[in-house]
Amino acid sequence: MTDPAATPASEPMDLRAQITEVLDRVRPYIQNDGGDCELVDVSEDGRIVYVRLQGACRHCPSAVYTLKFGIEQLLREQVPGVEAVEQVP
């Protein structure tokens, strides 16, 4: 994981802020089903976002749909440069 203090004040923090903003907008829908998601990290090039699904989403058989067709699709549409979302344990 990246240390925010070590990150230059330009694009990387702006990117994390944009990602966090999108996740904050989708989070209430996930929480309605008893789950949640946490931003774990972002790849150095900003193309891959790593999230941890929590609560009911953690072991739900439909979690892959939430991840790929929900979270990933929104991030790809709303945050330039994001190409994929990967789940971490």
Tell me what pLDDT residue 13 has: 63
Per-residue confidence (pLDDT) for residue 32, from 0 to 100: 93
pLDDT at 12: 57
pLDDT at residue number 6:
43
State the pTM of this model.
0.81
Q: Are 67 and 36 in contact (CB under 8 A)?
A: no
Q: Which of 3, 66, 81 is nearest to 34 (CA)?
A: 66
- Does CATH place domain 9-87 in 1.10.10.1200? no
Domain ranges of the chain: 9-87
- Tens digit of each residue's pLDDT, the chain (89 residues): 444 444 444 455 699 999 999 999 999 999 999 999 999 999 999 999 999 999 999 888 989 999 999 999 999 999 999 999 999 99
- DSSP tag of 62: T
Specify which residues 38 forms β-bridges with. 52
The pLDDT score that the predictor gives to residue 86 is 96
